[in-house]
Amino acid sequence: MASAAHAPTPVLKDELDIVIPTIRNLDFLEMWRSFFHPYHLIIVQDGDPSKTIRVPEGFDYELYNRNDINRILGPKAYCISFKDSACRCFGYMVSKKKYIYTIDDDCFVAKDPSGNDINALEQHIKNLPSPSTPFFFNTLYDPYRVGTDFVRGYPFSLREDVPTAVSHGLWLNIPDYDAPTQLVKPLERNTRYVDAILTIPKGALFPMCGMNLAFDRELIGPAMYFGLMGDGQPIGRYDDMWAGWCTKVTTDHLGLGVKTGLP
Structure confidence by residue, pLDDT tens digits, 136-150 = 999 999 999 999 999
Spatial CA neighbour of 46 closest among 107, 105, 87:
87
Q: What's the pLDDT score for residue 6?
A: 53
Q: How far apart are CA 83 and CA 40, in angstroms?
A: 24
Do 225 and 76 contact (CB within 8 A), yes or no?
A: no
pLDDT < 70: residue spans in the chain: 1-8
Spatial CA neighbour of 239 closest among 249, 224, 228, 250:
228
Q: What's the pLDDT score for residue 7?
A: 58
Residue 164: φ, ψ to 5°? -90, 125
Spatial CA neighbour of 100 closest among 154, 56, 149, 42:
42
What are the chain's domains?
Answer: 16-261 (3.90.550)
Q: What's the pLDDT score for residue 1?
A: 38
Strand locations in 94-152, DSSP E?
99-103
Sequence-ordered list of residues with C-beta below 8 angstroms from that of 113, at least 6 positions apart, any chain: 193
Give Dmax (Cα) for the chain: 69
Share of the chain above pLDDT 90, in %: 92
Sequence-ordered list of residues with C-beta below 8 angstroms from that of 78, at least 6 positions apart, any chain: none
Predicted confidence (pLDDT) per residue in 92-131, tens digit: 999 999 999 999 999 999 999 999 999 999 999 999 999 9
Spatial CA neighbour of 154 closest among 141, 166, 136:
136
Q: What's the pLDDT score for residue 235?
A: 86
Q: What's the pLDDT score for residue 84?
A: 96
Residue spans of alpha helices (H) in 119-168: 120-127
